[in-house]
Structure 1
């Protein structure tokens, strides 16, 4: 009976894996199909491999290769990762450890911002950034992150910091550390799992973001990958589906490699109580 249950569970996992991987396999198969096969061949795998889709997609826009979009996305994603890690940790330390007037009120306000849809804020933000002259630059995508605007990550780090025993702070204070010393020598080293979790999700969300980047980036030289992929549908329609999926497949590689490199720390951040090392 136990063996039957184990095989049934394994079969269920395989079925679930097939359902999850099917869109990815379909995308890879379409990336290797010719324009004729895209509309005539409904099977998962192409009859004749068409590697030219990758070259055509890489040089689809006149005067700009797809490598430019990879560079733009990488720079923006890297800057957002660093900004979120620094600003959210400092803010979480203040809300989770320091004592100041209206601390609980500000924490409640911060949590309340999670209820605001992004589309409600986009118009006033656009007007503000236009007055700053930041439209068509990466600044609207990066600078707000320096102000700890990602309430989800602040909340995540606050809960993580609260799990670190306060006795460690007291021991550091006995050794002569002030608030900055406690942050530097106690909170920062023990917050590595939370920081890595923030970095992973910040990178993935920024890399895949389409709406915000479409609003602020109008010049093709500033496009990121999600915005650049949209241009395939505007140019030649059906004949560009193969190159579009080829570039979409390439755009998944950085996300996959980034997650693969830091997945151990992500699991550690989920399981740890704050006392690591």
Structure 2
């Protein structure tokens, strides 16, 4: 008994140390956002500033145009999340509930696309967006971000819908519901954990996306997202390090809030899909 308690205590101590090391860069970044540029360079790994420089946040928000970049990120990310949820839920429902010829081959084919680097698909996506006349526009960025198979989310939905009782569909049919109405009114509300998982993961990926917004807003700096907007702190001969740290701290706040709100559903979604 004592050996088990000692082992648990040692395990907790190791996890605390690992957690402290894991969270240290984030705490250091927040601390650096309150330093002057000179203190930032000379303070090394020191966390606390000599005197909090709250004007760094004001400079990032106003001078660095983060107020504009923040709204762009909110619009692009939220719209992308909605599009991805709808498309992946519909695809996962069809794959999970409809037995059609070649379904296994189709699942294998879309699963194989997970191994294709996104950089390989950026050229055809660029050509499609250009042919639609949406280059350097917010709808173009949204379409580019929401494009792709999103295989992970499709498989999560497919696994979840596959394991739902068939009696649910039969009861809906008896009530006069068709295929699509059954999906919207019966199946989709039951998949809240998967919806939350998709929303959280896609929100984080789109919010932190750099490559796609950079490519599709080259000629329209006012359409930049927060990730691309970090360039505003890089001058020809100098870099505003403390302003950049303040901007990075601002950009992390929505991600943390979204995860805290939906974390329970996120855990349920992951555990439910694994069980399925």
Give the TM-score of the pair, scaled to structure 1. 0.90
Residues 129, 144 of structure 2: 8 Å contact kept: no
Residues 85, 198 of structure 2: 8 Å contact kept: yes
2:43 alignment counterpart: 41
Residues 89, 154 of structure 2: 8 Å contact kept: yes
The more displaced of 36-45 and 244-253 is 36-45
Distance 1:148 1:167 in 2: 33
Matched, 1:15 2:17: yes
Residues 145, 206 of structure 2: 8 Å contact kept: no
CA displacement 1:220-243 (0-9 Å, x = unmatched): 2101000001231245523x0001
1:249 alignment counterpart: 249
Q: 1:145, CA displacement in angstroms? A: 6.5
1:127 alignment counterpart: 127
Distance 1:273 1:125 in 2: 31
Residue 27 of structure 1, aligned match among 26, 29, 37? 29
Residues 27, 245 of structure 1: 8 Å contact kept: yes
* Cα 1:101–1:86 shift into 2, 3 Å: same
Residues 210, 227 of structure 1: 8 Å contact kept: yes
Report the RMSD for the aligned CA atoms in angstroms.
Answer: 2.2
2:231 alignment counterpart: 230
Give the TM-score of the pair, scaled to structure 2. 0.90
Distance 2:235 2:163 in 1: 51
Distance 1:34 1:145 in 2: 36
Distance 1:269 1:158 in 2: 12
Matched residue of 1:106: which SS?
helix
Matched residue of 2:68: which SS?
helix
* Structure 2: stretches of 5+ with no match in the other structure: none
The more displaced of 44-53 and 201-210 is 44-53
2:58 alignment counterpart: 55
1:102 alignment counterpart: 102
Matched, 1:207 2:207: yes
Residues 84, 145 of structure 1: 8 Å contact kept: no
